[in-house]
Amino acid sequence: MTPGLQGGWLCFEHDDEKRRLSPIPSDWEGADTGDLERYCTEAKPVRRRSLVMG
């Protein structure tokens, strides 16, 4: 597992962009729109995995 992700992460996805934020902020479930936007900005971009069928 990628270092720093052992405790889980929040994933933000939009169109072709995917971002991960770790550690998970303790207040994320009650976060308002402004906080979620800030968390998304702080999250690190990651490459999407393509699904392989077969």
CB atoms within 10 A of CB 21: 19
Q: What is the span of the domain harbouring residue 31? A: 10-46
- Domain contains 51: no
- Domain contains 33: yes
- Domain contains 54: no
Q: Which two tokens stand for residue 11?
A: 């994933």
Question: What is the Cα–Cα distance from 13 to 26, expressed in whole angstroms?
Answer: 20
For the chain, give the percent of residues with pLDDT over 90.
Answer: 67
Question: What is the Cα–Cα distance from 46 to 28, expressed in whole angstroms?
Answer: 20
- pTM of the predicted model as reported, rounded to 2 decimal places: 0.74
What's the half-sphere exposure (Cβ side, CA atoms, 13 Å) at 53?
0
- Domain contains 2: no
The domain tally of the chain equals 1
Span 28-40, pLDDT tens digits = 999 999 999 999 9
